[in-house]
Amino acid sequence: MISGDNLFGRLLGRHNALALDAPATAFTGLQLHLDHQGRVLSISGSLRPHLAQHFSSDAKPLLHTLLCANSALSVEGLPADWQRHSLDLDFQGTAGHILHTRGGIEPYGEGWTLRLLDISDLLVGQQLAQQREQDHQLACHISDQLRVCSLSRLPDVLNEHLCSLAQRWHIPCAALALLDDESQGWQIYSYYAAHDAPALWQTGQRLGTSLDSVNGNAPLSLDIAQGRSDNPRLQSVFGNAEGFLVPYRDGQGVAAWLLCGFYTGQQHTSDRDWLNLTAAIAAPLLSRLREQRHHQQLERVEALQGLLGTGWWELLPATHEIQLAPQLLRSLSLEESASRQTLDTWLELIHPADRQELNSRLQDLQALGKPLLTSVRLQRTDTEQNPVWYRVQGQVLGVGDSRRWIGFMLDISDIKNQQLQAAAAHARLDNLIASSPAVIYVQRYVSGALHPAFFSDSLLPLLGWTLADCSHEGLASLIHPEDRDLYFERTRQLLREGNVRSRYRVRDKLGHYHWLLDEAKLLRDDLGLPVEAVGLWLDVTEATQAAEQIKQSEERYRLLVEDSPAMICRYRPDLTLTFGNTPLANYLECRPAQLPGLHLGDWLSDEQRQAFVHRISQLTPEFPVSTAEISLQLPGREHAWWVWSDRGVFDEQGALVEVQAVGRDNTEVRRSQQQLTQSAKMATLGEMATGLAHEINQPLNVMRMAIVNVLKRLSNGDVQIDYLTEKLQRIDTQVQRAARVVDHMRVFGRRSEIEQQPFDPVQAVEGTLSLLSEGLRGKGVDVRISPADFSVQVKGYVDQLEQVLINLMVNARDALLSQREKHPELRPWIAVHSEHDSRHVRIWVEDNGGGIDPRLLERIFEPFFTTKPIGVGTGLGLSVSYGIVENMGGRLNVVNGEDGARFCVELPIVSEG
C-alpha cells in the first residue's frame, strides 16, 4: 500500500511545496512520479489542471488518496507490483467530475513514472453503445411482439410495451398518438401513466390538429413552465407539463407521435435512437392496423357485393376466357369451379335479346378501348315474369402489352323492374291525363307569381285554347269580368294556405263561358318556399246550372211548405209541436212562431187521443210511416176531419225521437161527399117515388079491406073471436111491412161515407198521356204505350188514379234527364202497359234510367223522402200516390228491372153492375 505521511499535507499547502518539476516535453495526459512506496513526488501533463487538488512540492501523498472511491483499481502494494499491468484509475476532478484514465507504470530513476491517458470519451462511448444496443434490442422485441400478436390483443400488447418503455426511461406519462382517418385529426391510441403521475391524456382522446404544425423531422423538447415552448399550440396537448415529442414518418408524412409527459431526460438518448424506438413501435402497429382495416374493407366489400348481387370480372386475352369474382359466381348461381370460363359460355348466360349487343360492346372494349356500359337480362326460364337484370360495366387499365380489361356486374333487377313498371304507369297516366274530362295544369312560381307551365291535352277540346293562349298575362283576360276578383283571391289563398278550391267562369274559343271547378295544391321546397302549383279544372257548367235550378226549387219548396194549404209539422212522441207551417197555425188560430210547445192532444177527444198515441207508438225503424184520418174539435169551429200522415225519426238505438207529419183538411170533402151522396140519394128516392107509393099503398089496401070486413061482421052481430084474431093479425103484418119500407127510406136518406165508383183504368191512362206525352217527346223521352185489349172495372176515382200515373211518369222523366246529363249516349224511354188476371188489373210504368238504389227501395214511399237534390222534390208525390192507391184497395210497389225502375199500380177488379 502506498504510504507517505507528509504527502497529503504538502498537497494541502501545509508544508513546503512538492517538487513539481516536469520534463521539458509536455505529456498529453497525466504523468505522476512515485517513489518506491507509492508516494507522489510530482504531477505533470495536460490533465493536471483538471484535478480537484493541487499539490505543493513538499507534500507527498500516497497515490490511493488521490483516487475516487469507485476507482476501477484498488491501489494496493508497491509500484513494483503494478508494472506490466494496465491501470484504470479514476481521479477526483474539478467541479465534482470524475477523471477517467488508463495507463501503465515504469521505472524512472530511483522511482517510478505513472503515465495515464484520459479515457472518459471511450467509456462514455462504450456506455452509449451498450445503451443503444439495449435500446435496439428493446425496439426489436417490441416490433416483433406487435407483428406476431393477434389483432384482438394488439391494444393490450402496445400498452404493455408503453409501460416497459416508460419504466426504462423513467417517463411518468407516455402515449402514442395516431392520425385518425375519419376526422383527419390526432387521437390517443394507447396511454400509460405511473401510479403517482397526473393523467395527461386518455385512450381514445381526440387532440384535433394541434400536432400538424409541429416539425416532424426530429424529437421536440418543450418546457411550458419556463415559457420555452417552440409551439404554443402544444399547450393544448401537454397543458402546463414539460414534455417530449417524437415523430414517426412514413411515405405519406408524419403518421404517429410518441408523447412523453413530465420528462426532460431525453439528452441521455440520441434523437436517432428516439426516432428508431418510435419507428419500432409505430411502424408495426400502423402496419397491423392497416392490415386490419384492409381485412375489414375486404369483408365490407364482399358483404356489399353479396347484398348488391355484384362482383368483378376480367377478360383474359391470352386464353380468350373471362374470370369471375367468387361473389359474382354465387350471384349467378354458378359453381366455384366456373371462376374461369370461355367468353361464349359466359354469354350463354345472357338473354338472347341482349346477348348480341353485349358481345359487340365487349369487342369495342378490347379493340377500341371504348368503355362498356349496358344492361342485360339473364337467360332464365323461371323468371320471365320478373327477369333478372344486371348492369355490366368495363374499362381498360394500362397501355400496350400490359393492358387489362376489367369491370363489374351489378344486379339491378329491382331498379329495372321498377323502371319498367314506372314507365308503364307513366304511359297509363299520360293516357289517363289525355283522356280525362278534367284539365290538369301546372303553374310555376316565378318572382312572386304563378305562371302556367303545363296543361293537359283536354284543354283544347274543352275551351279551344293552348298553353300559349293561357299565358300569365292572357289567362286573366279569359276569366269572366265578374269572377276576376274571385280568381285573384284564389291565387292569394293558394300561396297563403297551400291549397284552394274555387269556382269561376272561363271563356272558350267561341266566346262562351264555362263554369270551372278549380282545385289546386301548392308544392314547396325544403325551405318552405313555393315551387309550383298542381291542380285541375273540371267543367261544372251543367252542375252549376242545375244547382241554380235546385236553389230556385228550394225557394219554391220553402214557399210550398210555408204557403201550401197542406199542414206540415214536426212533433215529439208526447205530441208536443216543435215546428208548424202557416196553414197549421191558421187552423189552430195562432201565429207560426207560437206553434212550438203546443200539444196536439188538446184538440183531440179522449178516444181520438188514445187512438192517435197508439198509432204513433206502432211506428218502428222498419215501418216508420202511418196514415190515418183524425177527428179534431178546432177552436170556434164545427167538428173537423184531417187526413194525417206521420213519419217517425229514430236514433241509433231505434228509439222514436221525432215525428214528421203532413196533413190536409178533409172536412169540406167529407161534407161535400156527404151532400153529394145525400143529393144522389134524394134523387134516387124521387126516381123511386112511384114504386115506394105502391109499396106503401099495398099494405094500406089490405088493412082497409080487413077493417071493412070486421066492421061488417060487427054490424051483423056476427062476432067471432077467431075471425077477429085472424083479421087483426093480418092488419099487424101489413103494418110491419109498411114500417120496413119507411125504415129503409130513412136509413137510405141518412148521411153516410163517400161512395167510390167503378171505372175503367184505361181512362186514367189515356188522360195521363193526353197531358204528358207531347211534353215528354219534346224532351227526347220516347213514350212506349202497349194498348190494352181488355176492359175491366175498378172502384175508386179516375182523376185520382190519373194523378198517381202522372206522378210516376214525371219522376221517371226527371231520373232519365239526370242520367242523360251523366251519360249523353243514353236514349231515354218510358213504357206504360196494362195486364190483368181474374182478380186484379196492373198498370206498369217503367223506364231505362238505371233503377233505384236497392237500399232506398223500402223508403221510397215514405212522406218527405226523396232522392232528388234539395229543393227539387218535396218527397210527397209517391207518398200521396201510395195513399190514393191504398184507399182504392190496391197496392203501389216498385222493383228494379234490367233497364231501370218498374212501378206497378195494382187495383182489385170489381164486377160490372
Number of domains comprising the chain: 7
Boundary-marking domain end, from 506, 539, 572: 539
Q: Are residues 150 and 285 in the same domain?
A: yes
* Residue 233: predicted pLDDT: 62
| DSSP-assigned states of every residue in 672-689 | HHHHHHHHHHHHHHHHTH
C-alpha cell at 382: 323461371
Which amino acid makes up residue 596? Answer: P
Beta strands 206-208; 87-92: pairing state: unpaired
Tell me which residue of 886, 866, 862 sits closest to 874, measured CA to CA.
Answer: 866
Q: Is 425 within the bounds of a domain?
A: no
Residue with cell 426516432: 275
Q: List beta partners, residue 834.
A: 843
Q: Is 554 within the bounds of a domain?
A: yes
Q: How far is it, in rounded angstroms, from Cα 793 to Cα 912?
A: 6
* Residue 691: predicted pLDDT: 41
Q: How far is it, in rounded angstroms, from Cα 335 to Cα 392?
A: 20
What is the separation of C-alpha 616 from the centre of its chain, rounded to a whole number of angstroms? 52
Q: Are residues 87 and 212 in the same domain?
A: no
pLDDT digits (tens, 9 = 90+) for 781-817: 898 988 787 788 888 877 778 778 878 888 888 888 8
Domain that holds residue 357: 309-418
C-alpha cell at 541: 257548367
* Residue 480: predicted pLDDT: 92
Beta strands 829-836; 782-786: pairing state: parallel
Q: Are residues 401 and 450 in the same domain?
A: no
CATH number at residue 793: 3.30.565.10
Note the helical H segments in 467-540.
Answer: 472-478, 484-497
- Torsion sign over Cα 193, 199, 205, 208: negative
Could you tell me the CA-to-CA distances from 709 to 195, 264, 718, 720, 886 in Å, in that order? 169, 181, 11, 12, 62
Q: Is 123 within the bounds of a domain?
A: no
Q: How far is it, in rounded angstroms, from Cα 785 to Cα 845?
A: 10
* 15: Cβ contacts below 8 Å, ≥ 6 apart: 6, 9, 56, 58, 59
Q: How far is it, in rounded angstroms, from Cα 326 to Cα 334?
A: 9
* Residue 436: predicted pLDDT: 67
Q: Are residues 583 and 633 in the same domain?
A: yes
C-alpha cell at 179: 392520425
Q: Are residues 658 and 591 in the same domain?
A: yes
Q: Is 257 within the bounds of a domain?
A: yes
Boundary-marking domain end, from 270, 295, 320: 295
- Torsion sign over Cα 497, 503, 504, 507: positive
* 718: Cβ contacts below 8 Å, ≥ 6 apart: none
59: number of Cβ within 10 Å: 26
Boundary-marking domain end, from 725, 749, 773: 749
Q: Is 579 within the bounds of a domain?
A: yes
Residue with cell 344486379: 411
Q: How far is it, in rounded angstroms, from Cα 529 to Cα 422?
A: 29
Q: Is 107 within the bounds of a domain?
A: yes
* Residue 435: predicted pLDDT: 65
Q: Are residues 199 and 227 in the same domain?
A: yes
CATH number at residue 586: 3.30.450.20
Tell me which residue of 198, 186, 185 sits closest to 257, measured CA to CA.
Answer: 186
Q: Are residues 231 and 328 in the same domain?
A: no
CATH number at residue 726: 1.10.287
Q: Are residues 223 and 286 in the same domain?
A: yes
Q: How far is it, in rounded angstroms, from Cα 459 to Cα 841?
A: 56
Q: Is 592 within the bounds of a domain?
A: yes
Cβ 532 vs Cβ 442: under 8 Å: yes
Q: How far is it, in rounded angstroms, from Cα 281 to Cα 733?
A: 155
* Residue 267: predicted pLDDT: 55
Q: Are residues 493 and 448 in the same domain?
A: yes
Tell me which residue of 130, 131, 79, 137 sits closest to 108, measured CA to CA.
Answer: 79
Q: Are residues 903 and 762 in the same domain?
A: yes
CATH number at residue 55: 3.30.450
Q: Is 826 within the bounds of a domain?
A: yes
* Residue 842: predicted pLDDT: 92
User: In a 10 Å sphere around its CB, with 0-12 CB exposed, 13-18 middle and 19+ buried, how is residue 136 labelled?
Assistant: middle
Q: Are residues 585 and 448 in the same domain?
A: no
Cβ 680 vs Cβ 750: under 8 Å: no
Q: Are residues 897 and 781 in the same domain?
A: yes
DSSP type of residue 869: P
Tell me the Cα Rg of the chain: 65
Q: What are φ and ψ of residue 325, in 5° steps?
A: -70, 150
Mean pLDDT by 10 residues, the chain (913 residues): 35 36 59 85 83 62 73 68 83 80 87 86 77 80 85 86 85 87 80 84 82 70 48 70 84 85 71 84 86 80 72 83 84 81 87 89 88 87 70 87 85 82 78 74 89 87 86 85 91 91 91 91 90 90 82 73 80 91 86 89 85 90 88 73 90 91 82 49 44 60 80 78 80 72 47 61 81 75 85 82 81 87 89 90 91 81 64 60 82 89 91 62
pTM of the full structure = 0.37
CATH number at residue 260: 3.30.450.40
pLDDT digits (tens, 9 = 90+) for 577-607: 998 888 888 888 888 889 899 988 888 888 7
